[in-house]
Amino acid sequence: MFDERLPTRVWVDALMRRAQVAGASAFVLQRGEESRGDVLIKVADLSGGARAYVPRTSMEGTRVFVDLETQGVGPEEAGVDEYVGRARDRDRDLWVIEIEDREARHFLTEPVE
């Protein structure tokens, strides 16, 4: 089956550009596999809080992002950083993106659960 998703590198570039155009800062903390690496997005609110988002495939087969706070990750930045560190150790092909935004916007265009 043909997968119509963009290469991960292109998707990451677009996410970072959306954040920067809106006045937020975005950084690549770890570069993953260019075409199909998974992505973990950390959003820091610059006041000690943070959230983490990871992609999942919904029951309908579409890509959605899960807010890991529902799984006990965050809302304190230290807890999110610990999770990010473990995820980086587990998966060297993982893209890790950090967005810093006082409004804690994630800039994802996909649904977030």
Local confidence pLDDT in tens for the 113 residues of the chain: 234 578 999 999 999 999 999 999 999 999 999 998 899 999 999 999 999 999 998 888 888 999 999 899 989 999 999 999 999 999 999 999 999 999 999 999 887 87
What is the structure's pLDDT at 90? 94
What is the structure's pLDDT at 105? 96
Size (the chain), residues:
113
> How far is CA 87 from its chain centroid?
12
Measuring CA to CA, which residue among 23, 12, 14, 38 is closest to residue 97? 12
Record the pTM: 0.89
CA dist., res. 108 & res. 65, Å (int): 8
* Four-residue CA torsion sign, 39, 109, 5, 60: positive
- For residue 106, the number of C-alpha atoms closer than 13 Å in the C-beta half-sphere is 19
Q: For residue 12, give the 3-state DSSP assignment.
A: helix
* Bridge-based pairing state of the strands 39-44 and 95-100: parallel
> Can you tell me which residue has the tokens 């890790």?
96
Domains in the chain, start-ordered, CATH in brackets? 8-100 (3.40.1530.20)
